[in-house]
């Protein structure tokens, strides 16, 4: 049967049990989802977004029927080509996020799509944490962490996934399901597959009978090692089901699909301290690490929990200016009590007196200080990648040595990189575990460059394996990059054992073929990912995926990373002229999935180590689609020049909609307008739609003799929109804000010609940057005059507007409501907190301005029960897109309503009128400005 026919039959069969909106066969999404953080690229024929064990079981059964290869993917942060496929890619991410706390937090049951950092947030109230701690923990998902046996800065070999895993639920290549923690499932599997269990026992016994092999396995896993399959379970466990569960760890999806895992959690020490130690010599730094490794407390436990080496290139990538040609060791110790912590610090300081440190040893136990150290360490890889020559690939490998070999091996590795001409390469990593990463900025554009990389890897193999018998892969998984070297590192006996395991689990070699087991000795120098230049604002992106945790459309349309991936491919096709039809297809498909659904909120930049804002790319794309002279641009320019009239024309529309709502009722109005939105594309009406509003003349002209003055610029939204028909409040925001300011003793000054003024956000979001800047300039001049050249503070009642104002207006003090209240009104008002639980939504602009804690602190002055819903970032309303593309708003807030209902919350507060419309619509709870809550809970001191 021809391969194309097989895929067609596969699609026909799976359409019976998977909705079409979770099966992707189009050019754009196959490329987008087929790209991960590594430096290889394969484009899958079919991408399936799975959401249950039943689905995955049927998918694998169907793939087995047609003998089609399958690869699994979670977050796509893996670096060595583990999560790419040219066949079928099954994604287990956003739909796989359920968990269960066990034993009061001492254990946790997890599905594979939960992000590692989210697990830590879940466990924090119990004083526990997720033991595996890769640097990508804020982005990587549990499935990838476990299946790559990814570890990090503190977990070492004592608390990696293999050591803390209790049991696993898995789905085999033929669709069979097994839960090794469930006696009934074990019994059923034993009855159905006695041959499988018998073979596991045979392999276990063969390993133990081969003393030389057993000793080698113990030696190799004494340090971090993820090269090949994990064969340590054969000497760790007697029970065949325990062996099966642990064989999955580090198997990279080559044995089975991991649908659930139960893991022991780790105690989260309440007292921590870190020090950045500087050395003039890398060997001296390593000798200090070896000495610190030996320090123990009275119970015999290590007191140094982490020691991260950063060589001179690593320090340069993060702009460390301590000195030239230094090596740093970021050291951490943890304790139960402050007294115990100080005792450990003294022990470490005494140990370090024997070594020549460049600066005095200084430990800090202040979280705000040591958190910065560890943030720098976590961002080394993307930071180095971001400083690479544009158009080259940034790749990372990780090796491990036994601790006694560390000083010499580290120096030799550094020299080896220099010998091959990698002058900008850096070495950093988990020195306490003998585990280092080295980063290369590599071009694969010529045969010479590919040969240089191949020669380097051969020399690394010789150094690590032949000279020091270390690990070629310590924690990132084998992947395609080290698949040719698995046998070389382990030897024939161990490699044949691994192949026997693969044959047992996946006899047809359908699960992630080419990864770990690959007969092509050149597989690591093929299928390189192109990185063409596309836009200076995103060209530094290395596609690590760290941005996706903050991208509200990740899992719905395209993520921020995927938008860059597609734009790069569009640029490549334009430059090469190879495939004009494919180029036209990508351009057409990107219009909705990439452009129209992007909120442009910029939160992606907050988790990107290079602070790349994909929203800026979207603005540039929109600008290119609206050149000067086009009809769209002319309409935007007309609106800017006649802004007061545009607002006046909007008010009757709002009044008409409100009247229709009053006459027809909510149910009929909702049904009618939804149909009109779907058929005619008109903006969607919801019951949260506000009434029309106009600022009263007497409010503008109300002058007092109060000495304290504030310039109040109501956003154009709040100048035009009042409250919704069923709002629990009675006064529009502008009236309420003036009342609150006067209660606090301020005279309110409005800028002149306010009806014509705007911050420019409306035009910026459409890509009309020059018009946006013109409006900002007009506003700046009006505010400068009203504030008597900056004498008085300026308040804007809409946080997204204020964010743009701060970006473009630098000579005045600008405030949004929560910040102004906390700064100026807190001491002028008497707060009487309510017992009523309230929800707070932190807008994306508040987060980007660093004011998230400010609005929470204001809310806590007003309520004893403040709740910030979890996993709610940008609401996705994005100005008018909540009306034109409400599906984005609904997806962004899909987790909001259940949380509010569970807490019994009836009111929510924020500081953006448009966001509040979307929040009200999707939560069933009225959201209004934080100013309403403050006004309700305060009275003036005088």
In the chain the domains, ranked by start, together with CATH numbers, are 99-267 (3.30.465.10), 271-476 (3.40.462.10), 538-625 (no CATH), 645-940 (no CATH)
For residues 308-312, average pLDDT = 92
Structure tokens at 800: 């997204």
pLDDT value, residue 217: 98
The token pair that represents 673 in the structure block: 């307008």
CA distance 581 to 850: 45
pLDDT computed for residue 421 by the predictor = 93
Burial (Cβ within 10 Å: 0-12, 13-18, ≥19) of residue 335: buried
**Stated length of the chain:** 942
Name the 3-class secondary structure at 186: helix
Q: Which residue has the tokens 């705007």?
A: 758
Mean pLDDT of 542-565: 96
- Residue 456 CB partners (closer than 8 Å, separation 6+): 416, 417, 420, 422, 440
| DSSP 8-state assignment for residue 707 | S
CA 558 to CA 489: how far, in whole Å?
40
Tens digits of per-residue pLDDT, 503-550? 999 999 999 999 999 999 999 999 999 999 999 999 999 999 999 999
DSSP string, 195-209: HHHHHHHHHHHHHHH
For 355-467, where are the alpha helices, taking DSSP H only? 367-378, 380-386, 406-419, 447-461
At 666, list the tokens: 């909510």
SS3 state of residue 177: strand
* Comparison of pLDDT for 665 and 63, the residue scoring more: 63
What pLDDT was estimated at residue 845? 96
Q: What contacts 475, CB < 8 A, 6 or more positions away? A: 134, 148, 149, 150, 151, 152, 160, 224, 226, 398, 435
How many other β-carbons are positioned within 10 Å of the β-carbon of residue 493?
14
Beta strand 927-929 with 866-867 is: unpaired
List of E strands, 152-298: 165-171, 177-179, 257-264, 266-267, 271-279
Instruction: pLDDT band for 853, please (50, 70, 90 cuts).
Output: very high
Q: Which long-range contacts (CB under 8 A, 24 or more apart) does 781-789 make?
A: 782/751, 782/752, 782/753, 782/754, 782/757, 783/711, 783/713, 783/751, 783/809, 783/812, 784/811, 784/812, 785/751, 785/752, 786/711, 786/749, 786/750, 786/751, 786/752, 787/711, 787/749, 787/812
Angstrom distance (rounded) from CA 912 to CA 923: 16
Amino acid 701: pLDDT: 60
- Output the six-digit token pair for 3: 């391969």
Residue 917: pLDDT over 80: yes
Which helix H or strand E contains 796, and what residues bound it? strand 794-796
Q: Is there a contact between 409 and 401 (Cβ–Cβ < 8 Å)?
A: yes
Please state the rounded mean pLDDT for residues 301-308: 93
Buried b (16+ CB within 10 A) or exposed e, 778-807: bbbebbbebbeeeebbbbbbbbbbbbbbbe
Strand-pairing partners, residue 469, are: none
| pLDDT, tens digit (0-9, with 9 covering 90-100), for 731-770 | 999 999 999 999 999 999 999 999 999 999 999 999 999 9
Q: How confident is the model at residue 812 (pLDDT cuts 50, 70, 90)?
A: very high
Whole-number pLDDT of residue 392: 86
pLDDT in tens, 760-810: 999 999 999 999 999 999 999 999 999 999 999 999 999 999 999 999 999
Q: What is the DSSP letter of 115?
A: B
**What percent of the chain lies above the pLDDT cut of 90?**
84
* Placement of tokens 């000795």 in the chain: 521
pLDDT number for residue 19 = 96
Residues 529/853, Cβ–Cβ less than 8 Å: no
Q: Identify any residues that bridge with 332 across adjacent strands, giving them in sequence order.
A: 274, 306
In this prediction, residue 670 has a pLDDT band, given cuts at 50, 70 and 90, of confident
CB atoms within 10 A of CB 639: 18
Confidence bin at 699 (pLDDT 50/70/90): confident
**Other beta carbons within 10 Å of 390:** 10
Residue 684, Ramachandran bin (φ over 0: left; ψ between -120 and 50: alpha; else beta)? beta
pLDDT recorded at residue 705: 62
* Distance in angstroms (rounded) separating the CA atoms of residues 168 and 163: 13
Kindly report which listed range (44-48, 273-277, 416-420, 697-701) carries the lowest average pLDDT score: 697-701
Please give the pLDDT value at position 702. 56
Percent with pLDDT over 70 in the chain: 99
pLDDT digits (tens, 9 = 90+) for 109-147: 999 999 999 999 999 999 999 999 888 899 999 999 999
* 3-class state of residue 705 by DSSP: coil
Q: First CA to last CA across the chain, in angstroms?
A: 87
In 3D, which of 414, 428, 432, 448 has the Cα closest to residue 385? 428
Q: What is the 3-state secondary structure (H, E, C) of 446-499?
A: CHHHHHHHHHHHHHHHHHHHHHCCCECCCCCCCHHHHHHHHHHHHCHHHHHHHH
Q: Rounded to whole angstroms, how far apart are CA atoms 393 and 488?
A: 27
CA distances from 719 to 393, 531, 644, 859 (A): 50, 46, 10, 25
Look at residues 197, 112, 100, 99 and name the one whose alpha carbon lies nearest to residue 147: 112
Judge contact between 537 and 620, C-beta under 8 A: yes
pLDDT at 926 over 70: yes
In this predicted model, what pLDDT tens digit does every residue of 394-450 receive, in sequence order? 888 889 999 899 889 989 999 999 999 998 889 888 999 999 888 888 899 999 999
**In a 3-state reduction of DSSP, which class is residue 165?**
strand
Which class for 585: exposed (0-12), middle (13-18), buried (19 or more C-beta within 10 A)? middle
Q: Is the confidence at residue 704, as pLDDT, over 70? A: no
Q: What's the pLDDT tens digit per position in 6-23?
A: 999 999 999 999 999 999
Sheet of 908-910: strand order equals 866-867, 838-840, 908-910, 927-929
Phi-psi region of 289 (alpha: psi -120 to 50; beta: other; left: phi over 0): alpha
Burial class (CB in 10 A: 0-12, 13-18, 19+), 862: buried
**Spatial distance between the Cα atoms of 686 and 919, rounded to a whole number of angstroms:** 11
Secondary structure of 82-93 in HEC code, one letter for each residue:
CCCCCCEEEECC
Q: For 345-368, how does the pLDDT look when each residue is reduced to its tens digit (9 = 90+)?
A: 999 999 999 999 999 999 999 999
Mean of the per-residue pLDDT values for the chain?
A: 94
Which residue's structure tokens are 């699909």?
A: 257
* Sequence-separated (6 or more) residues with CB below 8 Å from residue 385: 394, 439, 441, 540, 542, 544, 610
- Given this model, what pLDDT does residue 638 score? 94
**Average pLDDT score over residue span 51-77:** 97
- Token duo for residue 144: 């990838």
All residues at 6 or more sequence positions from 661 whose CB lies less than 8 Å from its CB, including other chains: 669, 687, 689, 725
pLDDT at 395: 84
Q: Yes or no: say if 573 and 579 are a contact pair by the CB < 8 Å rule.
A: yes
User: If pLDDT is split at 50, 70 and 90, which confidence band does 918 have?
Assistant: very high
Q: Which of 287, 296, 381, 285 is nearest to 330 (CA)?
A: 285
Those residues whose C-beta lies under 8 Å from the C-beta of residue 899, and which sit 6 or more positions away, are: 867, 869, 870
């Amino acid at each position: 049967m021809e391969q194309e026919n097989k895929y067609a039959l596969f699609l026909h069969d799976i359409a019976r049990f998977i909705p079409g909106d979770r099966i992707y066969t189009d050019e754009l999404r196959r490329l987008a989802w087929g790209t991960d953080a590594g430096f290889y690229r394969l484009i899958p024929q079919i991408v399936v977004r799975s959401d249950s064990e039943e689905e995955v079981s049927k998918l694998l059964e169907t793939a087995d029927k047609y003998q089609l290869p399958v690869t699994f993917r979670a977050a796509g942060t893996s670096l060595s080509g583990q999560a790419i496929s040219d066949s079928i890619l099954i994604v287990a991410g956003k739909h796989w996020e359920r968990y269960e706390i066990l034993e009061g937090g001492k254990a946790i049951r997890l599905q594979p799509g939960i992000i590692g950092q989210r697990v830590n947030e879940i466990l924090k109230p119990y004083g526990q944490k997720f033991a595996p701690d890769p640097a990508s923990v804020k982005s990587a998902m549990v499935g990838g962490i476990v299946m790559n046996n990814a570890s990090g800065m503190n977990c070492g070999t004592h608390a990696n996934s293999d050591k803390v895993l209790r049991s696993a639920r898995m789905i085999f290549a033929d669709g069979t399901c097994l839960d090794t923690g469930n006696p009934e499932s074990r019994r059923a599997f034993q009855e159905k597959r006695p041959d499988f269990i018998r073979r596991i026992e045979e392999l276990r016994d063969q390993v133990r009978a081969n003393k030389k092999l057993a000793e080698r396995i113990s030696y190799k896993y004494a340090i971090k090692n993820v090269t090949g399959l994990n064969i340590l379970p054969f000497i760790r466990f007697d029970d065949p089901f325990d062996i099966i569960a642990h064989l999955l760890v580090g198997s990279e999806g080559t044995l089975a699909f991991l649908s659930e895992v139960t893991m022991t959690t780790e105690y989260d020490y309440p007292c921590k301290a870190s020090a950045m130690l500087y050395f003039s010599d890398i060997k001296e730094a390593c000798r200090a690490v070896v000495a610190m490794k030996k320090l123990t407390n009275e119970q015999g436990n290590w007191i140094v929990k982490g020691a991260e080496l950063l060589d001179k290139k690593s320090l340069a990538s993060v702009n460390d200016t301590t000195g030239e040609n230094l090596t740093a060791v970021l050291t951490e110790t943890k304790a139960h009590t402050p007294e115990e912590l100080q005792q450990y610090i003294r022990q470490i300081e005494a140990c370090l007196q024997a070594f020549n440190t460049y600066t005095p040893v200084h430990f800090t136990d202040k979280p705000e200080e040591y958190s910065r150290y560890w943030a720098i360490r976590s961002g080394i890889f993307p930071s180095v990648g971001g400083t690479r020559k544009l158009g080259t690939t940034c790749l990372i490998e990780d090796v491990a040595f036994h601790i006694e070999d560390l000083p010499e091996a580290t120096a030799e590795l550094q020299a080896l990189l220099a010998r091959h001409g990698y002058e900008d390469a850096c070495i950093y990593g988990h020195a306490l575990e003998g585990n280092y990463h080295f980063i290369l900025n590599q071009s694969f554009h010529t045969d010479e460059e590919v040969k240089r990389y191949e020669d380097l890897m051969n020399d690394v193999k010789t150094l690590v394996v032949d000279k020091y018998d270390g690990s070629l892969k310590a924690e990132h998984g084998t992947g395609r990059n080290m698949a040719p070297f698995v046998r070389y590192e382990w030897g024939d006996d161990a490699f044949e054992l691994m192949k026997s395991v693969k044959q047992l689990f996946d006899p047809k070699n359908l699960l992630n073929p080419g990864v770990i087991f690959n007969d092509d000795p050149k597989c690591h120098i093929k299928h390189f990912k192109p990185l063409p230049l596309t836009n200076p604002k995103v060209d530094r992106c290395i596609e690590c995926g760290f941005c996706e945790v903050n991208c509200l459309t990740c899992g719905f349309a395209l993520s921020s990373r995927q938008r860059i991936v597609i734009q790069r491919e569009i640029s490549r096709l334009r430059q090469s002229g190879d495939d004009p039809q494919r180029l036209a297809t990508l351009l057409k498909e990107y219009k909705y999935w990439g452009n129209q659904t992007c909120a442009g909120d910029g939160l992606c930049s907050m988790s990107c180590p290079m602070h790349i804002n994909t929203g800026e790319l979207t603005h540039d794309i929109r600008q290119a689609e609206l050149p000067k002279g086009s009809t769209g641009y002319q309409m935007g320019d007309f609106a800017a020049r006649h802004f007061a009239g545009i607002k006046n024309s909007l008010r009757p529309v709002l009044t008409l909609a409100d009247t229709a709502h009053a006459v027809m009722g909510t149910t009929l109005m909702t049904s009618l307008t939804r149909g009109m939105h779907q058929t005619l594309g008109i903006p969607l009406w919801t019951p949260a739609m506000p009434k029309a509003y106009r600022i009263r003349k007497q409010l503008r002209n109300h002058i007092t003799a109060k000495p304290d003055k504030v310039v109040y610029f109501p956003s154009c939204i709040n100048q035009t929109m009042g409250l919704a028909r069923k709002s629990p409040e009675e006064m529009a925001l502008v009236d309420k804000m003036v009342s609150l300011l006067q209660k606090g003793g301020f005279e309110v000054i409005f800028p002149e010609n306010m009806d014509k003024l705007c911050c420019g956000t409306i035009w910026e979001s459409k890509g009309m940057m020059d018009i946006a800047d013109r409006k900002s300039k007009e506003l700046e001049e009006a505010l400068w005059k009203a504030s008597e050249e900056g004498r008085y503070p300026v308040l804007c009642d809409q946080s997204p507007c204020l964010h743009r104002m701060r970006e473009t207006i630098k000579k005045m003090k600008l405030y949004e409501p929560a910040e102004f209240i906390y700064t100026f009104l807190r001491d002028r008002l008497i707060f009487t907190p309510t017992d009523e639980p309230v929800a707070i939504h932190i807008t994306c602009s508040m987060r980007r301005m660093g004011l998230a804690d400010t609005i929470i602190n204001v809310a806590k002055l007003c309520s004893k029960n403040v709740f910030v819903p979890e996993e709610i970032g940008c609401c996705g309303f994005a100005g008018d897109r909540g009306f034109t593309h409400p599906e984005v708003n609904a997806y962004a807030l899909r987790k909001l309503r259940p949380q509010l209902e569970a807490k019994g919350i009836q009111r929510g507060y924020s500081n953006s009128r448009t966001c509040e419309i979307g929040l009200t619509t999707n939560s069933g709870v009225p959201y209004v400005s934080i100013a309403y809550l403050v006004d309700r809970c305060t009275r003036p001191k005088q």
